[in-house]
Amino acid sequence: MNTNTPKSNQMPVGSVQCENTTLNLLKANDFVAKAIRERIPNICVINICSSPGSGKTTLMQETGKRLGKELNIAVLVGDPETERDAVRMRDVGINALQIVTGGMCHIEAQMILQALDHIDLTGVDLLFIENVGNLVCPAAFDLGEDFRVTVLAATEGDDKPKKYPRMFLTSELMVVSKADLLPYVPFSVEAAAKDAREVNPNLEVISISSIHGEGMDAWCDWLKTKVAEKKAIAAHS
């Protein structure tokens, strides 16, 4: 046994290395994502991505409080371990199901398809998928969503869009969270937005403080618009 072989290059006994495995995996994932869209054609699905600790769960909680009487909202919550975030959702009256990935750094479409069998989506207008905290792996996996939102916290630094371009390239909206901390941290919303739009010229940007309420009206209006758009498309299909 060669003890100098890096663990990242070690392969299980009997396994065979194949080329283009990533391409084949993503093709299979896209097939499942298509099945998800066909299964819930009347529900607007939003995939929320970010680094850990950006404030996704708090944003979902506050969204539920503000829109709960206007929209029927459900959430599929992804985490490597624990059901804590789903419990937080239920505490504010949001229908939520935890997807425990068991250490995986992202959610895949097949996990969502399986989860649909275990959550009641009757009458749901808006389904959030709160992805695993990560700006790398989740970017490659279509989860059957209508829109992808990337949350970038003011505490993370404004250089992330160019460092993790695929996430911002594949998103429709960038939410700058924890905006109440902007006076105290070296973060420029303008610089982050400029870099993000050089990656994706069509990207929308909203600054939000879930705690103080800044930008929440704009966020809720964006969501209501997207839900209405999805219903209009479904009605004419």
Provide the β-strand partners of residue 79. Answer: 100
**Local structure of residue 139 (DSSP, 8 states):** G
To the nearest whole percent, how much of the chain has pLDDT over 70? Answer: 88
CA distance 36 to 110: 9
CA end-to-end span of the chain:
60
Sequence spans of domains, the chain: 41-235
CATH class belonging to 41-235: alpha beta
How many other CB atoms are there within 10 angstroms of residue 71's CB atom? Answer: 17
pLDDT tens-place string over residues 40-50: 999 999 999 99
pLDDT at 197 over 60: yes
Pairing status of strand 173-177 against strand 204-207 = parallel
- Here the tokens at position 157 are 């630094």
Which of 22-31, 95-104, 220-229 is most confident?
220-229
State the DSSP H helix or E strand holding residue 233, giving kind and residue range, or none if neither: helix 216-235
Average pLDDT (205-231) is 97
Q: Which of 27-31, 70-74, 192-196 has the lowest mean pLDDT?
A: 27-31
pLDDT tens-place string over residues 49-108: 999 999 999 999 999 999 999 999 999 988 766 778 788 888 888 899 988 877 677 889
Which candidate, 110, 103, 109, 148, places its Cα nearest to that of 128?
A: 148
Q: Are 123 and 102 in contact (CB under 8 A)?
A: no
The model's pTM is 0.87
Query: Considering the chain, what is the average pLDDT of its residues?
Result: 88
Q: Are 96 and 75 in contact (CB under 8 A)?
A: yes
pLDDT tens-place string over residues 148-162: 999 999 999 999 999
- State the pLDDT at residue 8: 35
Distance set, CA 33 to CA 29, 122, 143, 166 (Å): 6, 20, 5, 19
Pairing status of strand 204-207 against strand 126-130 = unpaired
- State the pLDDT at residue 23: 58
**Chain-centre distance for alpha carbon 149:** 6
